[in-house]
Structure 1
């Protein structure tokens, strides 16, 4: 008897059978009594082993407006959308980021920098066009500003 659960059976030349009647069944060993149902009126009857050698280079989706999108991965495992590496957006308004972070490379801040002292005092850091850095205590000091 064929073990369908652990391994997909090989096809035996001049023995294997694919039957079509009220349903579609497969009998790789030729034994119709032990054949496995594949498709019937109640749907598909596939097992994980049926997809052991399935390789999909990409998946294509279509939006409700008809725009097509291809999803795939590069050799490093990065998600590609239409061949372009997906970068998660990080520009949400009023975002709070918690935890310890390490940044490599240049970090550019526009709009100013506020620092919070251990007791909650807010300080504004500013740099002028000559590169002079100044730190000033926030005039209206409440910890809900930053």
Structure 2
């Protein structure tokens, strides 16, 4: 082999190596580009997920506020119902007392009326007998 043959072989190998290195550089560039795209996609997904979680957290906060309002309203209702029950209890007692008083008053009135009617009946009976004997 001569120097020229060796030089041609070296030049051919160098060209082949350069072509291979160019292919490798192209592949590496594509890989870097793909990696950058994937990184951007992942970052975009993370930001979207963070945004959605923030919205969910906000909605949970609203729901918790509404539950707190419902609990406060329920406590108010319970207090109002307890007050109404107390008022009804007092009203029942007052009505019972009034009913008893009216009953006693009516009883006394009927007893008094009965007494007076019996007195009148005896007097009218005596008068009826006197008029019967006179006639």
The TM-score normalised by the length of structure 2 is 0.20
Structure with the bigger percentage of helix: 2
Larger radius of gyration: 2
Structure with the bigger percentage of strand: 1
More relative contact order in 1 or in 2 (CA 8 Å, sep 6+)? 1
The TM-score normalised by the length of structure 1 is 0.19
